[in-house]
Amino acid sequence: MAITLTTQLLTFQEYLTQLADTDIRSELAGGKLAPLAPPTGRHTAIARHLFRQLDREITERQQPWVVTYGDVGVRTGPHKVRLPDLTVITTEQATALWHTAAILESPPLLAIEIISAEDPNRDYRYKRAEYAALEVPEYWILDPHLEKATVLTWVNGDYEGQEFAGDEGLVSSLLTPWTLPISSLLLSGAAPTTPQTAPAS
C-alpha cells in the first residue's frame, strides 16, 4: 500500500510568526513560505524612481491615497500573502495598518510588480490570478528585460490588459493620464556609468 505524505499548510498567523523570527522577506504561496531573492540594483532603482513619481502625482492630484514601497503585503487567500514592489492604498487602509502587521486584507487600489529574471511566471501568471481573485482594480507588471509594461484593469469580472513600450505613457484608469514614458522609467534602472578621465596632456 502506498504511503501518502502530507505537508501541513501554514496558517496566516503562523506566517506572521515566522516573519517575526527572520529578516528574510518571504511570501506565503499556497501555505508554504516562499523567500524572495534580494532585488538587483536595477530592480531597486526602478522601484525607487516609480515611488517618487507616484508620490508626486498623488500629491498633485490631492487624492486621499498613499503609495507604499515594498513594505505592505496583500493577503490574496487563506494561505496566500504577496508582497508587491509597490502599492497604492487609501489613507483609510493605511490608518488601519498603523498598529497591526502591514498586510492588507482588502484589495489595494493598485499593485505593481517588477519582473525578476529568475521567475517571471510568478508575476505574469500566479500573482495575476491571485490579484484577479481579490479583485484588485489595477495591476501593473513592469518588465525591464522585455522593456515593456502591462497594465491590467479589472473589468466585468476579469482583467483586461494593455501593453506599453518605448516613449508611450501608461494609460491607467486610476491615474489618467499617466505621463511617465516607459523608456524613461526602465532607463531609471540602467547601470551607472563610470566618469571618463581626461587623458594626460
Over residues 120-179, the pLDDT tens digits come to: 888 999 999 999 999 999 999 999 999 999 999 999 889 999 999 999 888 899 998 788
Q: What is the CATH number of domain 39-187?
A: 3.90.1570.10
Q: What are the DSSP calls for 146-191, one per residue?
A: TTEEEEEEEETTEEEEEEEETTPBP--SSSSS---BHHHHHHTTSP
CA distances 172 to 29, 123, 149, Å, are 28, 19, 12
pLDDT, residue 20, reads 81
In the chain, domain spans: 39-187
Contacts of 181 (CB under 8 A, 6+ apart): 166, 167, 168, 169
Residue entry with cell 501554514: 10
pLDDT, residue 106, reads 95
Q: What is the mean pLDDT of the chain?
A: 88
Residue entry with cell 500573502: 81
